[in-house]
Structure 1
Amino acid sequence: MQHVARGLTALLCTGILVAGTGGCAGADSGDQPSRPSPGAAAVAMDGGSKVATADTSDLVRGDGSDKRPNIVMVLTDDMRADELEQMPKTQALMRERGLDFTDAVSPHPLCCPARAELLTGQYAQNNGVRHNESKYGGYSRIKTANTIGTWFAQQGYNTGFIGKHANGYEHDSPRDPGWHVWEPITGNPTDYYRFRFFGNEEWRDDYVTDRITEKTNSAVRAMAAADRPFLLFSNHIAPHERQQYGPQGLTEAPPAKRHAGLEIDQVAPPIKAKSYKRAVVGGLPRKTPVKKRIKTSKVQKKWEARVRSLQSVDDGVASLFAELDDAGEAENTYVVFTSDNGFSLGERRLFKKNNLVQESLRVPMIFTGPRVPAGKTSDLPVTLVDLVATIADLGGVKPRLDVDGASFKRTLLGGTQPWRDTTLIQTGDKYQPRKHRNLRWKGWALRGVRTERYTYARDVNNGDRMLFDRARDPWEMRNVARAPKYRRTAAELDRRTNKLMRCAGDNCNRTFGKVPGPR
């Protein structure tokens, strides 16, 4: 463990982590440096002496004989893949020391469906969650008795869930089975300053990211002391917009006080994109919410707010690694950092998510841990659904459901493996009984596939289609679904869509062969 401690302390002392740890005088001497005491934050958090702690009373004690690895997932909300560039501590602790999956996607890029995928390892046609709300969406659709939490708990792990849960998880909602540490936010999860954790632990005039971090660190200490392998989900809110009580509605993501004055002299990447404020030639499916007017100053302001809000998550990642090191668990823990979905900020005149373009589909995904190659990248097209299969594989845990994803453990540990050539992607629609009761595909909107070269989708209810040839059109500016020379291409991708939108288990990971190119 000594070399891990030295590495973390060197980062602390060179300012990559926020100060407050001490012991820097001997950091270059080769002597064992002084370390933070257990529970000491590696990052200065906002607030006074009150600290959020996790309820760890249900943890099961072990005897230390189970040597399986710990697994920690750090999840952000609505984070674009390119926003990882604005998190220097996470880059130093994870990207430089782990494997970065550069083509990771959220195959159903909306909060609740994505979170249901992360709990079940299944697509929405199998787990039942197609949207954030209504008859076909929300927390009530999740079968909580059979999730990754119950699998790991039943097979010898301590488990923990902290932070944002599925949409519709209320103050009086029941405790989900399988989780020894259960600390989700209830009610409105995106106020940032006024929030509740399960059990009606209410915080006002505070900052949610720091409290999630403190509960995460508290859980790590207790889980490490229990001498049993653990699975821990740490679910952050940033950089999601703030949903306030009252008439204010949605506003920009607020920063922690210590980051409010952060100066940003960079032009937002979306503004520099070739697709920014440009309409797609050939149009987009009718249900796609295209903006007619976009004010660049507002986009810049929104992006800067997102970056500032992510700085506290960056602090939290640094604090997590320091806690794992201090607990003696750093060398036996896999940490994965990812987001529930991406976010459009004006490209193709689109905003937000729940659309099947690169900015909404792509998410950051980095792994560190035992035997994970350091400072490497992989372009394997993995998804959040695959992440569940991989986490189970790393822990030696057998899912109690037919998961739709495939484990990429071999790639994660530096090897190679066969992989599917086509991935299912889809979006849902809020079900309105009076308006939608006669629809064939209730609760669905676009369903399609993504390959190495193409992105294809069809509105299953009105037939609108979208096809981007990313080899010739990397900015996805031309919808060629109706172009005569792409007729064979579109037909084959539509055939694959029909197969995969009904898939379950291994059938979701098929190899179809070469897609006919344009004539």
Structure 2
Amino acid sequence: MHYQTLLTLTLGASALAARPNIILIITDDQDVRTNTLSFMPKLQSLVAEQGTTFNRFHAPVSLCCPSRVSLLTGQYAHNHNVTFVSGPFGGYRTFCEKGYSGESLSDFLQDAGYATYYTGKLMNGLTFPAITACPTTGWTSSDFLIDPNVYLYYNSSFSANGEPVVNHLGEYQVDVIEQKASSFLQDAISGLNSSTPFFLGIAPTAPHLEVQFNGSFTEPLPAPGDEDLFEGIPVPENPNFNVQGGVSWVKSMPELNETVIEYFDHLYRQRLRALQSVDSLVESIVQQVEDAGIADNTYIIYVADNGYALGSHRRQPGKCLPFQEDVIVPFLVRGPGIPTNLTNDQVYSMPDLTATILDIANASASYPIDGRVIAFTESEQVCVQDSSQEIEGAPAQTIVEYWNGALEEGTYAFEGSNGVRDNTTYRSIQAIDGDEQDWVYGVWCTGERELYDLKTDPWQINNLATNTASGFDSFEFSSNTSSQVASRLDALLIVLKTCIGEVCRDPWKAIFPNQTVSSLSDALSSDFDEYFTSLPKFRYEKCQFGYFDNLESPKWNESLAFV
């Protein structure tokens, strides 16, 4: 059921004429697992308590630029192939080279009759020469953060509608973005007099670390007046904090000493302090919406591009791994038909948000969208959570992808190979099925595999895959059950790693085209043991920076399906 129909039922026939407005606030490097959301009381009272919080929303790539391009395209990274923050595999130039100029979310919304506005960070590599050579498209009005000053809190640079860059020396970046967003919102509200709905994107870089011109990462800086907040608050030492784990280079990380942990505590407080200005931005935007009398017809969405880790599995600050710290991001929404003060544990990812925004706007893309429409309204959420009803495309799994080196951040970051950890190429899948199944399975380019039962091991400490030696055939699992689960998830991973459109939304149909199997629980029947055991297992030919499908095998085809 489309949102236009749902709005008619919820708000009356007039809702169809007054199409909903959409405000998207996206932060940079904000995680869930260190409770950053708990330190944002305005976001909690004005969005969480007035709407729904989605606890299992994934970054499809645990890195900002690829994840943001998934938002702009509605595709997983293996389809848009913008996989890093800079060339030749990432950044704005690559986005243009892949043909997305004129073919992304803003263009599709404009084609559907929406006024579109955006301020803040769009993606990495947005320099003035880059947007001069390849102008941003689809925006009624824009004021983008411009490299190389994107991550500076007190010297940010902006380009309004492609005009020459203006520096804001001495002004706090989030405050500048709030002012620009407020101005855009007033323009958008004025446009409603002509029945023109609007989309407004607001993208501060908080709580991302500052990135200096020499490429070094330094602590984020708070707004004036927030410098002394949260004194004595340490980084949460969750069960996996300073605990050895993982595979590849992660498994040999040294134990964190007290000096490093004290630095993490300080860095954590700085991140919380930087988020206070974002909390105030949220309050300002919500207040304007409510004062204008359009709250009942406006979706306000809060999300982050990727998560962030501080000390979990003995790690230095960063985000490039398939652990929950890196891939689970804040996702909250309030708006018409959305139940209040509710949490949702269904699995979703960034392409699903794109599909949902397009559905709300009654817009369409010019190419297949990989995402599914998120169950926003109360009636939809009840349906999805009611296993007695057959729900088409009920969310149960999602893929996380990465093909690069992992970059550590901060004072004690890895210094070899320009700070990049090699061999950080992997595919990972999260699959749930009601209250019984909740698994993360992954394959790395080194040949190592990971399997975690999140029901019993939510902090991913106990890898149920034993990698006995290097190579893709040197592994085993801790029990018959884990081996059985891994065989199913490996097949699902092979399907999803090259999926397009409907196959991404319903991968089980590719495996069982003539059967009623549509979930992990169904597939775990012993009737299928021989079939899954016989399938070739996912492997990489070698570790390679960048995505090349010929280095990953097998590629799913009809001959591999169960018949």
What's the TM-score once normalised by structure 1's chain length?
Answer: 0.80
2:271 partner SS: helix
C-alpha displacement at 1:191, in angstroms?
0.9
* Distance change in 2, residues 1:411/1:372 (3 Å): closer
Partners of 1:172 and 1:328 in 2: CA distance: 41
Residue matched to 1:67:
18
1:298 to 241, 263, 272: 263
The yes-or-no answer on 1:268 pairing with 2:235 is yes
Matched, 1:156 2:87: no
Partner of residue 416, structure 2 = none
Distance 1:443 1:218, change over 3 A: farther
Aligned equivalent of 1:224: 189
Moved more, 353-362 or 125-134: 125-134
For residue 213 of structure 2, what is the aligned residue in structure 1?
245
Q: Name the CA distance, whole Å, in 2 between partners of 1:467 and 1:86.
A: 32
Evaluate the alpha carbon distance shift between residue 389 and residue 133 of structure 1 in structure 2; reply closer, same or farther with a 3 A threshold.
same
Which letter maps to 1:383? S
Q: Which residue of 2 aligns with 1:426?
A: 401
Relative distance call for 1:298 and 1:251 in structure 2 (3 A) is same
Question: How many angstroms does 1:398 deviate by?
Answer: 1.8
Return the offset for 1:376.
1.1
Deviation at 1:487, TM superposition (A): 2.4
* Deviation sequence 1:420-479 (CA, Å, 0-9, x none): 322111123159xxxxxxxxxx998111210121111112x3322111111121211011
Q: Is the 8 A contact 2:207 2:272 kept in 1?
A: yes
Q: Match for 2:243 among 262, 273, 278?
A: 278
Contact 2:82–2:89 under 8 Å retained in 1: yes
Partner Cα separation in structure 1 for residue 227 and residue 203 of structure 2: 22
Residue type at the aligned position of 1:462: T
User: For residues 385 and 65 of structure 1, do their structure 2 counterparts lie closer, same or farther at Cα, with a shift above 3 Å needed?
Assistant: closer
1:330 to 292, 295, 298: 295
Contact 1:133 1:430 in 2 (8 A): no
The aligned residue for residue 347 of structure 1 is: 312
* 1:162 and 1:182 in contact (8 A); partners too: yes
1:181 — aligned with what?
141
Give SS of 1:303's match: helix
User: Which stretch shows the higher mean deviation, 134-143 or 233-242?
Assistant: 134-143
Kept after mapping to 1: 8 A contact 2:428/2:443: yes
1:185 maps to a residue whose letter is L
Aligned to 2:428: 448
Report the CA distance between 1:305 and its aligned residue.
0.4
**Aligned residues of 1:285 and 1:466 also touching (Cα < 8 A):** no
8 Å contact from structure 1 (residues 286, 464) kept in 2: no
Change (3 A) 1:384 1:297: same
CA distance in 2, matches of 1:480, 1:354: 21
Write the letter of the residue equivalent to 2:71. L
The match for 1:146 is 103
Matching residue of 2:322? 356
Greater relative contact order (Cα < 8 A, sep 6+): 1
The residue type equivalent to 2:27 in the other structure is: T
Following TM superposition, by how much is the alpha carbon of 1:286 offset from its aligned partner in structure 2, in angstroms?
3.6
Residues in 2 aligned to 1:444 and 1:473: alpha-carbon distance in whole angstroms:
23
Contact in 1 for aligned 2:116/2:198 (Cα 8 Å): yes
Structure 1 residues 495 and 171, CA gap change in structure 2 (3 angstroms): same
Q: Quote how far apart the aligned CAs of 1:345 are.
A: 0.6
Report the secondary structure of 2:465's partner residue: coil
Q: Who is 1:79 aligned against?
A: 30
- The root-mean-square deviation of aligned C-alpha atoms, in Å, is 2.4
Do the aligned residues in 2 keep the contact of 1:489 with 1:517 (CA within 8 Å)?
no
Determine the structure 1 residue equivalent to 2:65. 112
Over 3 Å counting, the alpha-carbon distance change for 1:151 and 1:119 in structure 2 is: same
1:52 maps to what in 2? none
For residues 192 and 70 of structure 1, what CA distance do their matches in structure 2 show? Answer: 30
Amino acid at match of 1:214: Q
> What does residue 502 of structure 2 align with?
506
Deviations 1:124-152 (A, max 9, x none): 11111112223222222221221110000
Structure 1: distance between partners of 2:232 and 2:256: 25
**Counterparts of 1:203 and 1:462, CA distance in 2:** 45
Please tell me whether the aligned partners of residues 131 and 443 of structure 1 are also in contact (alpha carbons under 8 angstroms).
no
Deviation at 1:509, TM superposition (A): 1.5
Counterpart of 1:209?
174
Q: Distance in 2 between matches of 1:124 and 1:311?
A: 32
1:131 equivalenced with 2:93 (yes/no): no
Query: Which one of the candidate residues 362, 368, 372 is aligned to 1:396?
Result: 362
Instruction: Name the CA distance, whole Å, in 2 between partners of 1:288 and 1:90.
Output: 37
Question: For the residues of structure 2 that align with 1:509 and 1:443, how far apart are their CA atoms?
Answer: 29
How far apart are 1:251 and its partner, in Å?
Answer: 0.9
Mapped partners of 1:152, 1:443: distance in 2:
39
SS at 2:483 equivalent: helix
> Secondary structure of the equivalent of 1:416?
helix
Instruction: Give the Cα–Cα distance (whole angstroms) in 2 for the partners of residues 195 and 268 of structure 1.
Output: 28
Q: Which residue of 2 aligns with 1:121?
A: 74
Q: Find the aligned partners of 1:110 and 1:169 in 2 and give their Cα distance.
A: 16
Q: Which has the higher helix share?
A: 2
Q: Within 5 Å, which residues of 2 pair with 1:466-477?
A: 466-477=450-461
Q: SS in structure 1 opposite 2:264? A: helix
Aligned 8 A contact 1:153 1:178 in 2: yes
Letter in 1 for 2:54: F
- Kindly provide the amino acid, as one letter, of the partner of residue 23 in structure 2: V
- Shift in Å, 1:291: 5.3
The more displaced of 335-344 and 346-355 is 346-355
Residue 258 in structure 1 maps to residue 225 in structure 2: yes
- Provide Cα deviations, 1:155-185, integer angstroms capped at 9, x if missing partner: 1000012101211111222231111111111
Distance 2:252 2:106 in 1: 36
Secondary structure in 2 matching 1:352: coil
Structure 1 residue 292 displacement after superposition: 4.7
Q: CA deviation at 1:193?
A: 0.9
Q: Alpha carbons of 1:409 and 1:471: their partners in 2 closer, same or farther (altered >3 Å)?
A: closer
1:412 positional shift: 6.0
Query: For the residues of structure 2 that align with 1:177 and 1:444, how far apart are their CA atoms?
Result: 33
- Measured in 2, the distance between the counterparts of 1:95 and 1:229 equals 24
Q: Secondary structure at the match of 1:379?
A: strand
Count of equivalent residues: 440
* Equivalent residue letter for 1:509: R
Separation (CA, whole Å) in 1 of partners of 2:285 and 2:248: 43
Contact 1:410 / 1:416 at 8 angstroms: preserved in 2? no
Structure 2: distance between partners of 1:110 and 1:121: 16
> TM-score, normalised on structure 2?
0.74
Q: 1:423 to 1:297 in 2, by over 3 A?
A: same
Question: In the TM superposition, what is the alpha-carbon distance from 1:325 to its structure 2 partner?
Answer: 2.1
What is the Cα deviation at residue 491 of structure 1?
2.1
Contact 1:72 1:231 in 2 (8 A): yes
Q: Helix, strand or coil: the match of 2:427?
A: strand
The one-letter code matched in structure 2 to 1:105 is H
**1:317 maps to which residue?**
282
For each residue in 1:7-54, what CA deviation from the matched residue of structure 2 results, as whole angstroms up to 9, or x when unmatched? Answer: xxxxxxxxxxxxxxxxxxxxxxxxxxxxxxxxxxxxxxxxxxxxxxxx
